[in-house]
């Protein structure tokens, strides 16, 4: 009898241990789900992107020598990076032009996408059709199409002399006048770049609990106050996401002057591929600086500190519990 009870207890203990192995907390389950969603990108990165990325770093520090049946490298160190700034007269100018264009265009695109998503989130007749119209440029946009729009036609610009807009802007502060001029001159381009951001904002807006707006309205809050107190705090992570996405999208666009310069220098016979690889990494470093600035400005540091303090508090409680048991 005792042997049966002991065997039953041991079997029960084994089953409990097995259940504890397969049992996961909500936090671990969410982490696993996130990893599974992230897995296709990881597979694609290591299978397709990782090798060219590492190879471009290698050739940027080497002179590529192409001979019949063989490609060899001759180390040159930081020489091509030096030449990009000290010898090349076009690259620094085009680099600054591209970075300033991204710096000015990113906030305009994100704010425009936010305004459009707020409008499209309202209930009105034909809402689905308008959503499709704003997302259409993303579907049909490609390098050749945008190149034709930018170079062969005037479809990407607005004549600011209509209704004497230029004269009115002269009476405004220079910073805001320059910002408005940039917006008007690149309005159609911003419209083309804002499709994905609008959809992401729309998805985030639909996750906001409507009862919060009802409670705020009962308390006497206006629509403007509800936007600043409810909508914007919920959209802070999405604003950061869309900002990073916009910087990458505008920086890697085919018609960007720096990207065109990099493509042209790939055919340089004296330094094939190596010099263009160095230019690419300089441009990538500049875009990375813009992304770091956006992260520092838009990240919700208050929430980060709160989560860190909560984690520290839980850790202290667990330590006190262990000491009490000891």
Kindly state the tokens that stand for 136. Answer: 């259409």
- What is the band of 181 on the pLDDT scale with cuts at 50, 70, 90? low
- Mean per-residue pLDDT for 170-192? 66
Helix intervals (H) in the chain: 2-22, 26-44, 50-60, 79-86, 91-120, 127-140, 143-151, 165-169, 174-185, 187-193, 195-205, 210-218, 223-226, 232-251, 257-265, 274-298, 301-325
78 with 65: CB under 8 angstroms? no
Q: How confident is the model at residue 288 (pLDDT cuts 50, 70, 90)?
A: very high
pLDDT band for position 15 (50/70/90)?
low
pLDDT of residue 220: 86
The torsion defined by the Cα of 87, 90, 92 and 94, in degrees rounded to 10, comes to -170
Q: How far is CA 216 from CA 145, 193, 202, 209, 233, in A?
A: 46, 34, 21, 12, 15
100-109, 116-125, 171-180: segment of lowest average pLDDT: 171-180
Cα distance between residue 222 and residue 256, in whole Å: 43
**How far is it, in rounded angstroms, from Cα 192 to Cα 255?**
14
Domains, the chain: 88-325 (1.10.3720.10)
> pTM value?
0.77
Which of 36-50, 60-74, 136-150, 178-192: highest mean pLDDT?
A: 36-50
Tokens of 106: 């990113």
């Amino acid at each position: 009898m005792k042997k049966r009870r002991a065997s039953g207890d041991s079997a029960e203990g084994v089953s409990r241990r097995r259940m504890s192995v397969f049992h996961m907390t909500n936090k671990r389950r969410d982490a696993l789900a996130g990893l599974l969603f992230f897995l296709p990108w990881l597979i694609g990165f290591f299978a397709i992107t990782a090798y060219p990325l590492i190879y471009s770093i290698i050739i940027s520090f080497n002179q590529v020598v192409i001979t019949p049946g063989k490609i060899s490298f001759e180390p040159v160190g930081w020489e091509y990076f030096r030449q990009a700034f000290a010898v090349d007269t076009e690259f620094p100018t085009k680099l600054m032009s591209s970075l300033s264009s991204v710096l000015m265009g990113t906030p305009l695109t994100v704010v425009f996408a936010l305004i459009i998503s707020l409008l499209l989130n309202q209930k009105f007749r034909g809402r689905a059709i308008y959503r499709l119209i704003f997302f259409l440029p993303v579907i049909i946009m490609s390098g050749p199409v945008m190149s034709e729009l930018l170079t062969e036609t005037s479809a990407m610009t607005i004549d600011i002399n209509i209704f004497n807009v230029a004269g009115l802007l002269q009476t405004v502060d220079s910073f805001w006048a320059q910002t408005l001029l940039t917006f008007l001159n690149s309005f159609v381009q911003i419209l083309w770049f804002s499709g994905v951001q609008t959809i992401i904002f729309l998805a985030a807006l639909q996750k906001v609990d409507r009862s919060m707006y009802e409670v705020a309205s009962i308390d006497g809050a206006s629509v403007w106050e509800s936007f600043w107190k409810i909508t914007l705090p919920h959209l802070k992570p999405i604003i950061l996401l869309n900002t990073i996405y916009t910087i990458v999208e505008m920086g890697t666009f085919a018609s960007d002057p720096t990207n065109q310069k990099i493509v042209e220098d790939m055919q340089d016979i004296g330094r094939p591929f190596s010099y263009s690889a160095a230019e690419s990494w300089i441009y990538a470093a500049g875009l990375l600086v813009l992304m770091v600035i956006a992260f520092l400005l838009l990240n919700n540091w208050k929430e980060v500190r709160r989560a860190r303090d909560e984690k520290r508090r839980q850790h202290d409680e667990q330590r006190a519990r262990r000491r009490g048991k000891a």
